[in-house]
Structure 1
Amino acid sequence: MKKVTVASLLKMKQEQQKIAALTAYDASFAKLFDDQGIDVILIGDSLGMVLQGADDTLSVSTQEIAYHTKCVRSGANRAFVIADMPFMSYSSPDVAYKNAASLMKAGASMVKLEGGEWLLDTIQGLVERSVPVCGHLGLTPQSVHVLGGFKVQGRESTQAEKLINSAKALEEAGIQLLVLECVPTSLAALVSAAVSIPVIGIGAGAQTDGQILVMHDMLGISANYMPKFSKNYLLECGNIPDAVSKYISDVKAQEFPGAEHSFE
């Protein structure tokens, strides 16, 4: 199978082929996911919760993401590799440039930032400096204390309109991919239609261009809890390779997520 690129992900959206993504943090799982045909692997700052046992993602450092990115890159030959930029690692454009460079050098093909219009100059600067960028809107876990917890976003009409406008602005600034987390299914469909770039959902219903889950949630082994938007594929399949394969096939066939994994 050919290596996944930004161009091939865009083509998948245009041809209405669903994108399947998972987080990974080491070479062994990255290779397993790669062998099963995963399209995108994210080295998420979720490692703060699922690997380190923290209550949120805020304590994760750029150095930790870089370490795990290097590990994942060693195992992933085909999948597109994205690295999260941790809390306060992109607080200004110059800070973002330095930290993004370290993640790209570690093996990322793209970096992911959480937030809306305040990031436009930073995104434009990163792209101008040859760093591909993935945006992240909706529930942004690094803002958990501002949001008042891990809550569904965009249920009010003013919030929904702002989110759609933010997605358009981020695309205009140069992002080539967007993660949309914990928003109503109807809003996720509007966002996906409003931008030309692929939109990958998590807790955003089945009408986005793809899906991503934290691997520990998908396998039912998270240290803290199982989110409503996830599904325990290991329980259903009995072994990890089959669980990953079933997750990918369900995403491609639009059988996951179902209504029980989504928000209205």
Structure 2
Amino acid sequence: MADNKSADIKMSTASKTRKSLNKLQKMKDEGEKICQVCPAELGPFFALAAEMVGCDIFRIPGMLMPRAGGTYNTDWEGEWFNSQMTVIKYREYSKIMHMNFYLPVQFYADKVDAVKYGAQLVFNGADSILPMGVTNEVLKYMSDNWVPTYGHIGAISGWQTNATGYKRLGKTAEEAFDIFKWGYEYQENGMGAMTIELTPQEVAQAISEKLRVPVIGIAAGAPCDGSEMVDMDTFGVMPSKPIHAKTYAELLPFLCEAYMGWLDDVKDEEYPQKENGFAMDPEELEKFNDMMAKF
């Protein structure tokens, strides 16, 4: 007779517990502020810690991407492998937070590629894709093909481009209105949420109130629908603190203190102690010593 117990078979890769774009939209609609972190080079353990206290979103680039200005040669295949492995590894640590992956530009220069690579990363575990500076045409094609996007307006951080470079924007009425139209066009072409960076407080707040989708402030100085802080700022790792940053803990001194304790114990032969291991059976030890002596 067949067992009536249902088999534990997972029929879908979708998760009911993860914070999707729909969840973020509900938070905006209900007036609940959204908290976003950016572990950057610090790694997935920091995403786990943020999830444990209830943060909502983490935004990440490929973990092994070198900083601009270095000497390196990153080929297309290596970049793609790195992107997938980053998403997979972070999802192993963080099961609930919304993962917004910063897609390398070569993977959305063409709209078909944008869907192909964006969809694969969502399948790997990302909740949304960040195509920085994406055109409306490519964005609409991604949206029409069910690739969730969570993008960015304002200063294009990390780039020196003909569009902005990393500087304060929206200081004139015309420039501020252009940023609003940029965000509005993104919204109308299917973007589910966006960050706004380095604009005046009044501009960031007005845009977040005017747009239907969630708008998260980065270095914007306004509540918006929530805020992002890069972990390097949160933990005081940057050599100089920008005006928008707030340091909540000094990470490097804490790590150095722990490593110094370990270093001292090893050098001074304080580690290991007997309690840090286990002993062999005396009879077996005697046999072993005899075998070693005769070798």
Match of 1:192 in 2: 208
Distance, in Å, in 2 between the alignment partners of 1:10 and 1:128 is 19
Following superposition, which runs of at least 4 residues in structure 1 exceed 6 angstroms of deviation?
Answer: none
Amino acid at match of 2:115: Y
1:222-233 to 2 correspondence within 5 Å? 222=238, 225-233=240-248
Write out aligned runs for 1:119-134 (5 A): 119-134=135-150
Aligned with residue 100 of structure 2, among 69, 79, 82:
82
What is the RMSD of the two structures over their aligned residues, measured on CA atoms? 2.8
The C-alpha deviation readout for 1:204-234, integer Å capped at 9, x for no partner, is: 1223101112212211124x64332211111
Q: Which of 216, 237, 244 is the matching residue for 2:232? A: 216
The whole-number CA distance in structure 1 between the counterparts of 2:246 and 2:177 is 30
CA contact (8 A) 1:43 1:65 kept: no
Q: Percent identity?
A: 24
Of residues 201, 206, 209 in structure 1, which corresponds to 2:222? 206
**What residue is the counterpart of 2:120 in the other structure?**
102
- Give the TM-score normalised by the residue count of structure 1: 0.78
**Higher RCO (C-alpha 8 Å, min separation 6):** 1
- Which range is displaced more, 122-131 or 162-171? 122-131
The verdict on how the C-alpha distance between 1:107 and 1:225 changes in structure 2, with shifts beyond 3 A counting, is farther
**DSSP-derived class of the 1:78 partner:** coil
Q: Distance in 2 between matches of 1:153 and 1:10?
A: 26
User: Unaligned regions of 5+ residues in structure 2, if any?
Assistant: 1-15, 256-295
Deviation per CA, 1:158-199: give whole Å up to 9, x if none.
211111111111111001101111111111011101211100
Is 1:54 aligned with 2:68?
yes
Q: How many residues align?
A: 232
Distance in 1 separating the partners of 2:60 and 2:184 = 25
How far apart are residue 5 of structure 1 and its match?
Answer: 2.1
Give the TM-score taking structure 2 as reference length: 0.70
Q: Is the 8 A contact 1:45 1:84 kept in 2?
A: yes
Q: Are residue 92 (structure 1) and residue 107 (structure 2) matched?
A: no
Partner-residue secondary structure (3-state), 1:144: coil
Larger radius of gyration: 2
